[in-house]
A = this chain, B = another copy of it.
């Protein structure tokens, strides 16, 4: 088992990562001030519940906890105010009070949703994350919680830090392969923005990681969380540095918006986006090696590097420029300067972005 600390202004919290650590859930809860006198509520989704909910409920009850639970539909559409209202109704019925905790058991969807329940129920109660996807190594660090508005993603939310994060790598074995790859896309991003050595390690161990080989997986998640935690601790409320976490996301979000539901997973979209950023960096004068390496590593993990041809360039450009400020035909992008380092570049010609989108459709 590995443990790392996320250091934040108000307080810090630990992330435990390891195979089978859910067996110790009750004692870890106790250690981190989760109260037994007040009921807690596990929020999870319909894919995760059948596999893990009973076991976790039993362990907690054996440890003296009162446990209620709420199961939502799987998928992004559960990140909605109407679902939040239902969960809060169930929390009231179960008697949750100001000393209770909300436990998110699942991927980023459940984490974001349950986190905003914890942030807003009685103006804020304790929160615990039990991530069960690889992508959640990203979403469980930093305290950003939110639901969607019909008009915009993640627009209604809060900053609410968990008391602890319990990352049992054993849970990842039931994850569909496509979700594994998509989650690894964010792990690779954490290498590309901050740590050349970790990127090289990922490159070297791609096969073992994809096979969920235990030691390698644990180390990868640990390092991914480390990078995210370090960046976030420097800039909790996203004023400046935290923006580097958006490598690949400007193009990626636009692709998600334009592609049909489920055509591109988030991690797949940002994989293409990271290739695009590398291409832009080369145009801005950086070494061509940045592009070839970025693309090679992503492809090695089975991630898409080519933009689906049928997605309309005009619509992509419109989605991308929608909430961007740009003057005199230039805009802001997170761009690599070398492998393991990025910059915020405010001088990217919008015309080049369009050309790169076109090029991405012809990527080999």
Contacts and interface: CB of A to CB of B under 8 A. Distances in A.
A74 B82 CA distance: 23
Judged by DSSP, the binding face of A is mixed
A89 B121 contact: no
A162 to B, nearest CB: 16
Contact of A149 (B82, B85, B159): B85
A155 B124 contact: no
Interface in A73-99: 81-82, 84-85, 88-89, 92-93, 97
B157 A123 contact: yes
A1 interface: no
Given A81-B84, A84-B81, A156 B121 contact: yes
Contacts of A124: 158-159
Interface string A283-316: 0000000000000000000000000000000000
A149 B81 contact: no
Contacts of A82: 81
Contact of A89 (B88, B150, B323): B150
Most buried by B among A82, A88, A144, A146: A88
Closest 6 CB pairs of A and B: A123-B157, A81-B81, A120-B156, A92-B151, A81-B85, A88-B149
